[in-house]
Every structure is written in structure tokens, then in C-alpha cells.
Amino acid sequence: MRKTQQCRDTFVRFEGEAHASRFPSSLQQLPENLWGYAKRRRFVVDTIAQAFPGCHPDSIRILDVGCGNGTQLTLPLARRGYQITAVDPDLRSILRARGLGAEISNVRFICGTVEELSAERFDVLIVSEVLEHMRSPADLLLASLRHLQEEGILIVTVPNGYGEFEIDSQLFRALHLQALVNLAANDGQQVVGSTDHTACGHVQFFTQRRLKRLFSECSLSIVKQAPASFFCGPIIGHTLARFDWFVRWNARITDKLPLALASGWYFALQRSGKTATRE
């Protein structure tokens, strides 16, 4: 039996279980931020571990589509030993990623689009915080799926198009609060963004219903889904995000709320039909 088939069978059996206890201790201790980056990494690592139980990371091949500068997922996953190919069309982001990962031999960064990749197949496909930037998200998913093993897994993360982030951001722009922030800034602290392509704004605003329709059109079924953080817009980012207790609460509270209230969502998908479950 092939590795992907073995992993798929085991993956299905894990669907309804609680997963926090299986997070590696190093991931449980990752510092969280307003956007739930540590929570997202835990979801990705846990999903891969479920799909490939007993497999060493260096035997698992991952394609990260729209990797940005690699700081939030690609490089942390590469440091865990996974074999990663990462692609992004923005040259500045790729150059930065190559610099940051210069000493990591199991990752390669390619400047280009997924359509331009050679005909390789991967065990895991990651499309994280990308679909909202695409004029045709279905075309990107279908092009990416050509590189996924038939029984591999796809991990998608996407913001809630009508969640707190979008509302907060609209208010921030309408009230011209950036000027006040610039005047008040004095601590010199800066969060490293996931991309150096700062001009790539959101052009898609997803609901859960629209995402499920998109996945169905691409012959994908949701195996597992989970919420991102609650608040993550710029107004909250410049006020409450400085308090560690708030950041921790912000990442946890959405686990107890309806998925529609989260600022974003994480999905694990397969080509075969499975019943959706919430982590």
C-alpha cells in the first residue's frame, strides 16, 4: 500500500478527535500574535501529522503556493525537516526568503507562478492567505492541484471576508488613523509581514458558503476546519495587541464561538468526499 493511501486511511479515523495534546511541545510554546500565526502553524503541523502518522518529516514533500517571504509557514516547516518547495511571483519576497533560508538545505524558493512549475507531485499542498488576492481563485486551486498526489492533502487558510479584520480595516482607512499611528509610534517594534509585496490587497471577500461552493467546484471535500483568531484589524492591532493576555485570549476564544465569527478559517481538504468536522 502506498504511503499516501496508508496516511489517508488513518487521517479519516482522526477526524472527530481533539488534537491539542498531540501538538509537539515546541509548537505549544510558540509565541502567539494578534493574527494567530502560532495557531495556524499548529493546525498545519497537526494536519500533516494526522495524514502521515509515523512518517519522518524528511519523507514528506510539501508545495507552498504563494509563500511570500517564507517567514510564517515555509521556513518554520522547513526547520522541522519537511522537504519544501515554495513558489511566489513576487521577486522581493523570494529574494528575502532565500536570504532567510540560506542555511536550510531542504527548502527551495522559486520566483514564478504555480502554472510555471515542472510536473512534480507533492504529498501536501499549502495555499495559505492567497485565495483572497486572486481574481480567479478557482483557477489557482485547479492549477495547484495538478501538483498534489492523488491521495495527498490540501491545506487552505483564508480570511473571513466579512469578519472583524475587514470591518476594522475599513474604519481605520475611513478615519485616516494611520497618520495618528505614525505620530504616536515611538517603540520601534515591527512585526515581520508574510510578504514583501505590500501592494497586493484583498480582491475576494469569502463567506463559508462561498468557500464550500468553491471547494466543491474543484472536486474537494473538507476533512477538517478550524477558526483563526477573533480580532486582528489595525485598530485593535495598535491598541489591545500590546497585551499578552489579550493576544492569548484572542486566539483561544474563537474555539468556543460559531465559525462565522472568526477573522479567518483553516481547512484541510482531500479529493475524496468526507464529512466536515470542526477541530
Over 90: is that where the pLDDT of 180 sits? no
What's the pLDDT score for residue 171? 87
What's the pLDDT score for residue 165? 87
Sequence-separated (6 or more) residues with CB below 8 Å from residue 268: 47, 51, 153, 154, 155, 222, 223, 224, 225
When pLDDT is cut at 50, 70 and 90, the band that residue 5 belongs to is low
Phi-psi region of 254 (alpha: psi -120 to 50; beta: other; left: phi over 0): alpha
Q: Tens digit of pLDDT for each residue in 241-264?
A: 999 999 999 999 999 999 999 999
More confident residue, 186 or 260: 260
What's the pLDDT score for residue 169? 85
Cα-Cα-Cα-Cα torsion 53, 59, 63, 64, nearest 10 degrees, comes to 70
3-state secondary structure 13-37: HCCCCCCHHHCCHHHHCCCCCCCCH
What's the pLDDT score for residue 179? 72
pTM, entire model: 0.83
Give the position of cell 502554472: 115
Residue range 180-196: mean pLDDT, rounded: 53
Burial of 54 (0-12, 13-18, 19+ CB in 10 A): exposed
**pLDDT > 70: what percent of the chain?**
79
Residue range 176-204: mean pLDDT, rounded: 62
Q: Tens digit of pLDDT for each residue in 7-60?
A: 544 444 344 333 333 344 444 456 899 999 999 999 999 999 999 999 999 999
User: Going from the N-terminus, what domains does the chain have, and what CATH number goes with each?
Assistant: 3-270 (3.40.50.150)
Q: Tens digit of pLDDT for each residue in 92-128?
A: 999 999 999 999 999 999 999 999 998 899 999 999 9
Q: Tens digit of pLDDT for each residue in 148-168?
A: 999 899 999 999 999 988 888
- Reported as type and span, the H/E element at residue 248 is helix 244-253
What's the pLDDT score for residue 15? 40
Question: Please, are residues 125 and 67 in contact by the beta-carbon 8 Å criterion?
Answer: no
When pLDDT is cut at 50, 70 and 90, the band that residue 178 belongs to is confident
Mean pLDDT, the chain, rounded, equals 85
The grid coordinates of residue 52 equal 502521515
Residue range 80-96: mean pLDDT, rounded: 96
More confident residue, 172 or 149: 149
